[in-house]
């Protein structure tokens, strides 16, 4: 399977798509005015301790207070490995040292009871925390004291002594070699996760990265000592460099980027950490937008719809709530060829692949309930369940699937780190009072931006007229005015925005103004053209 990373970089938005054999399977979006705090390290101040929930709120300087559970507070009694925010599937951690029995009696096997949150944190206390989950909806960021600093091949865990190896490295000899190398090379008894990209890497390369990560941790500690809470101590890489670091060679064979500045940033980053990969990076300079050139916009639009049609004529319906997603499978127009049971079985099998694809592309997390069409044969149920397990195998997010229940339902969980695609690109519908979803006004403004870029090539004149819904016109004149300013500067054309109250909020069109007559007609009646 050939995988590509397609990076679309603009002044105000960056989109990164992971393609498998030409099909988009993951999409990452970052906008300039939106905070992406996952991976950042802060010095925070405890605002409130909640004994009833064994958790606390921490002020880290964001608009919403962060949330920390008792298990995420460093103590002698609690240590864990969690690399899910990096997309790594890590084995159960093993301590490099022999365990000391907690009660001092050899071989007792007793563990100290978990301490209470009120014994670990007090209001006003300053603590160093790492963001494991960015804010989602009304929920603040999820933070932990179990700091992890990712590199190309390793993840440093300064508050742990555990060594874990990615499960994607399947060869037991290689796993043992890597674990032995880390045990022999480490000097400060820090914990490490060996990433998938470390497979086959020699000791000197790993030693160099260990030295870099430990030096970085030392700088963060010094900054922490000299800062007052709340303060940002370490910022994670931007979405483009993070995708290159985490996906190139592990998940992708090639990177195509459409920005000269972004291309140079990626090349400089690889020059410092992986020079051999520079030949995998390509600068796209084609005439049409890069996502259009790779036919991605249609798949993204399809991933925002509730109903997804299958090739056979069946379809699935995806309904998302804040913490649960329900997926319903229907035969639709598919009538089969032989009998009802065979028709149902084939529809369910086809739906399995589409469900796994849509869950990954939409980045749906939390609890997922799939309502397959009822199958009478036990063998058919087992085959559909096995097909689902196989279909989610390539998903980097951790999933857990339960067998088909007596009601024909499959329950599964998927680790949620960031907003789903629908949450990132849509907002509650102001036409239906929040009962449904539509493209957000911000997203429409960015769609307008891209559409003008597409059509301006075929319009030689110096003035363009953009007709939009009044809500969008107001936004383009206000908080999104920078988009129009950027376009006028880039295209050397004047863009005149006319609100049309008859337009749906998602409707817009672009015309070239060829003379005074057409401009006058537009001023008198914007719907006349």
Q: What are the distances in angstroms from CA 489 to CA 473, 482, 493, 494, 495?
A: 19, 10, 7, 9, 10
Residue 142 CB contacts under 8 Å (≥ 6 apart), including other chains: 66, 67, 68, 72, 131, 132, 133
Helices (H), 227-339: 239-247, 260-273, 290-293, 297-302
Looking at residue 98, its pLDDT comes to 33
Q: What would the two tokens of residue 9 be?
A: 């970089």
> Residue 522: which pLDDT band, with cuts at 50, 70 and 90?
low
pLDDT higher than 70, residue 518 = no
Taking only the tens place, the pLDDT of each residue in 287-311 is: 999 999 999 999 999 999 999 999 9
Taking only the tens place, the pLDDT of each residue in 98-139 is: 333 334 344 444 556 778 999 999 999 999 999 988 887 778
Q: C-alpha 69: how far from its chain's center?
A: 23
Q: What is the pTM of this model?
A: 0.76
Looking at residue 144, its pLDDT comes to 92
Q: What would the two tokens of residue 10 be?
A: 């603009």
Taking only the tens place, the pLDDT of each residue in 391-402 is: 998 888 889 999
pLDDT higher than 90, residue 515 = no
Q: What would the two tokens of residue 486 be?
A: 């950027």
Looking at residue 88, its pLDDT comes to 55
- Backbone phi, then psi, for 388, in 5-degree steps? -65, -45
Q: Which of 322, 388, 320 is nearest to 354 (CA)?
A: 388
DSSP 8-state code for residue 59: E
CA–CA separation, 322 and 434 (whole Å): 13
pLDDT higher than 90, residue 482 = yes
Q: Is the separation of the CB atoms in 37 and 131 below 8 Å?
A: yes
Q: What percent of the chain has pLDDT over 90?
A: 53
**What value does the mean pLDDT take over residues 76-91?**
47
Taking only the tens place, the pLDDT of each residue in 361-372 is: 999 989 999 999
Q: Which of 438, 434, 418 is nearest to 426 (CA)?
A: 438
């Amino acid at each position: 399977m050939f995988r590509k990373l397609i990076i679309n970089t603009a002044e105000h938005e960056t989109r990164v798509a992971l393609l498998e054999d030409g099909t988009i399977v993951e999409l990452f979006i970052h906008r300039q005015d939106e905070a992406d705090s996952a991976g950042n390290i802060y010095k925070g101040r405890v605002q409130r301790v909640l004994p009833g929930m064994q958790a606390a709120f921490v002020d880290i300087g964001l608009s919403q207070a962060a949330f920390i559970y008792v298990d995420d507070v460093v103590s002698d009694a609690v240590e864990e490995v969690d690399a899910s925010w990096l997309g790594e599937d890590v084995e159960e951690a093993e301590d490099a040292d022999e365990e000391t029995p907690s009660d001092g009696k050899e071989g007792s096997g007793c563990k100290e009871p978990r301490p209470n949150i009120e014994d670990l944190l007090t209001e006003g206390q300053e603590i160093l925390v790492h963001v494991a989950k960015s804010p989602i909806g009304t929920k603040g960021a999820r933070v932990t004291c179990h700091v992890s600093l990712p590199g190309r091949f390793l993840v440093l865990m300064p508050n742990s002594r555990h060594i874990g190896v990615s499960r994607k490295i399947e060869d037991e000899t290689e796993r043992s070699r890597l674990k032995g190398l880390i045990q022999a090379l480490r000097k400060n008894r820090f914990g490490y996760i060996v990433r998938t990209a470390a497979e086959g890497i020699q000791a000197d390369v790993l030693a160099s990265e260990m030295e870099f990560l430990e030096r970085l941790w030392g700088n963060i500690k010094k900054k922490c000592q000299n800062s007052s809470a709340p303060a940002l101590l370490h910022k994670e890489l931007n979405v483009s460099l993070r995708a290159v670091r985490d996906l190139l060679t592990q998940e992708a064979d090639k990177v195509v980027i459409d920005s000269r500045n972004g291309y140079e940033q990626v090349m400089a980053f690889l020059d410092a950490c992986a020079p051999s990969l520079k030949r995998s990076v390509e600068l796209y300079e084609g005439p049409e937008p890069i996502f259009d050139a790779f036919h991605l916009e249609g798949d993204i639009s399809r991933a925002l719809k509730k109903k997804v049609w299958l090739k056979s004529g069946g379809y699935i319906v995806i309904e998302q709530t804040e913490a649960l997603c329900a997926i319903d499978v229907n035969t639709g127009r598919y009538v089969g060829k032989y009998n009802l049971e065979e028709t149902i079985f084939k529809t369910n099998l086809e739906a399995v692949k589409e469900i796994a694809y849509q869950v990954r592309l939409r980045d749906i997390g939390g609890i997922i309930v799939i309502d397959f069409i009822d199958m009478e044969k036990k063998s058919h149920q087992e085959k559909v369940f096995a097909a689902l397990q196989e279909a989610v195998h390539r998903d980097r997010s951790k999933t857990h699937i339960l067998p088909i229940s007596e009601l024909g339902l499959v329950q599964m969980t998927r680790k949620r780190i960031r907003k789903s695609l629908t949450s990132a690109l849509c907002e509650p519908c102001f036409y239906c009072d929040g009962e449904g979803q539509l493209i957000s006004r911000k997203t429409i403004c960015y769609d307008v931006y891209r559409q003008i870029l597409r059509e301006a090539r075929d319009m030689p004149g110096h003035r363009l007229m953009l007709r939009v819904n009044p809500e969008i016109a107001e936004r383009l004149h206000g908080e999104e005015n920078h988009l129009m300013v950027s376009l006028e500067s880039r295209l050397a054309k004047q863009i005149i925005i006319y609100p049309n109250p008859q337009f749906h909020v998602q409707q817009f069109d672009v015309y070239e103004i060829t003379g005074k007559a057409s401009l006058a007609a537009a001023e008198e009646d914007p719907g006349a053209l």
